[in-house]
Amino acid sequence: MAPKMNGFGIMPEDTRICVVMVGLPARGKSYIAQKAQRYLNWLSIPAETFNVGNYRRHDAPHPSADFFDTNNVEGERKRRAAAEAAVSDMLKWFKSGGVVGILDATNSTKERRKWVLERVASEGIEVLFVESKCDNEELIMANIRDVKTTSPDYVGQDPEKAAQDFRERIRHYEKVYKSINEDGDEDHLTYLKIMNVGKKVFINRIQNYLQSRIVYFLMNLHIRPRSVWLSRHGESALNLEGRIGGDAELSHRGEEYARKLPELVRESVGSDRPLTVWTSTLKRTIATARHLPKHYNQLQWKALDELDAGVCDGMTYQEIADQYPEDFQARDEDKYNYRYRGGESYRDVVIRLEPIIMELERSEDILIISHQAVIRCIYAYFMQKTQEESPWVPVPLHTLMKLTPRAYGTELQTYRANIKAVSTWRGKGSTAKHEDPVPEGGI
């Protein structure tokens, strides 16, 4: 593979796109921006978000609502300066090899959009405007609640006061806000307009494949609050022997975990609302999901099956090291790209998981019961782990993870079943079958 190749094989010099967010505050712009960045990074495309608010906070860390009044000359000047700084940093980043830069700001007037377009297009970078438009009060309130508790602007403030101030701020923006092409004179722009979280979508003048790919992904997003739960199957008979792959039954401790899982899930969900359960097509994940409440809908996905270890399927790490020493070493050197003889690499797994990720983005509460490598890839997507890190993430058995996507990142909670299991984690260069991982990032 050519070194510059990425998931799409689009060479950096081919296409560079600046995604310009548009919309009032509390319309999920930052959420969309960081989701897009996460998705592109996961597919090995260099992407970066430039949040104008972060630049503005240098000068005005905790501004009150009247800072955003268009009649406030000082506020206007500072906000303009922040936008300038963000755009010029972004252009610098493009020069160093960036492919998709995301400008996260309200860009709510025609003048501002014109300015951004001219600035960016003059560097030969394509501009894709992405507007989130929403008039559903409930959704806006949910977003306000989320923002006021997580936004750096309101750190340490009384939540009620913060919410009120934030609504005031929105009102200032509403006075000058123009939706894209509302007046019919922005038809030349390339844009995506998402109305009420994807109920209606309008796209205009998409120029190339990468743009269409981004648009496609964003259309799958929604901003309704939800969580994703991840669990490996319970310990299997092959886990006990330290063998990889196969299609074994659960061990008795694995069975114990399956019985405990409903309780663990209920504790984590905090209510009786049903989840949708996705398992792989292998016995051990289906058996693990067996005792979950009947009103949980269960689906099996072939795409959630464990990484195919090819000829090494059913072997221990020691056996692999003995029989295929070169392979064993090659795998440690570049675990993400290493493909087992007749089997798969982590990169292959990411490709086959793409439909799952899309489906996950579209869905609400989902519990996934799958396998180590697959969970690692999904985990890497939500937690933005690099290709170097993701294949080594420890995902212990008999542990439930709850991931909650938020505007400024994904929240992780872990729930241990306290049922003993072998460790299947293996450190770089080691062949030990029962090793304990170095604790990292909470799991």
Partner 1 sequence: MDTLLTAEIAANAPRYRRKSSTFIDGIHDVSDNQGKLAPAQLYSTMSGRLFHSGRIAIVMVGLPARGKTHISVSMGRYLSWLGVKTRIFHLGDYRRATVPGGHVPEDYFYPNASPASMMLRQKILKKCREDIYAWLNHENGQVAIYDAVNPTRSGRIALAKEFAKHDVQTLFIESYVDDQEILKENARNVKISSPDFHGMDPDEAASLYLKRIETKIPVFETMEEENLNFVKMINAGQAFYYNNVSFNYLFHRIVFYLTNLHIKSRTTFFVRAGPATDEDSYKADAPLSEEGMAYAEKMTETLLRHREQERQASIAQGGPDVPLRPLTVWTSTRLRTMQTAEPLKRMGFKVRQRSQMSQINPGVCEKLSERAIRALYPEEVKKHELDPYHHRYPRAESYHDLAVRLEPIILELEREQNDLLIIAHESVLRVLYSYLMHCSTMDIPKLKFPRDEIIEIIPAAYQNNAKRIHIPGLDPRTIPGSPEDIRIPVPGDPSANLPPIPGMSSPEPVDVAVPRPPEKIINNAKETVSDKLADED
Q: Which residues are annotated as a binding site?
A: 232-239, 284
81, 98, 108, 125 from 113: Cα distances, Å: 15, 21, 8, 15
CB of 133 to partner 1, least distance (A): 14
Nearer to partner 1, 314 or 427 (CB): 314
Let me know: does 257 contact 369? Beta carbons within 8 Å.
no
CB of 417 to partner 1, least distance (A): 28
**Binding positions for partner 1, rule: CB under 8 A:** 1-2, 4-5, 8-11, 14, 198-206, 208-209, 212-213, 215-216, 219-220, 222, 299, 301-303, 339, 341-342, 351-352, 355, 358-359, 362
Nearer to partner 1, 44 or 423 (CB): 44
CA distance 382 to 399: 17
CB of 5 to partner 1, least distance (A): 5
Nearer to partner 1, 72 or 204 (CB): 204
CA distance 261 to 266: 9
CB of 428 to partner 1, least distance (A): 22
Residues annotated as part of the active site: 233, 306
List the binding residues for substrate.
Answer: 232-239, 284
CB of 128 to partner 1, least distance (A): 12
First to last CA, the chain: 33
Nearer to partner 1, 256 or 305 (CB): 305
Count CB neighbours of 71 within 10 A: 9
Nearer to partner 1, 11 or 141 (CB): 11
CB of 97 to partner 1, least distance (A): 15
Nearer to partner 1, 214 or 422 (CB): 214
Q: Which of 149, 365, 371 is nearest to 248 (CA)?
A: 371
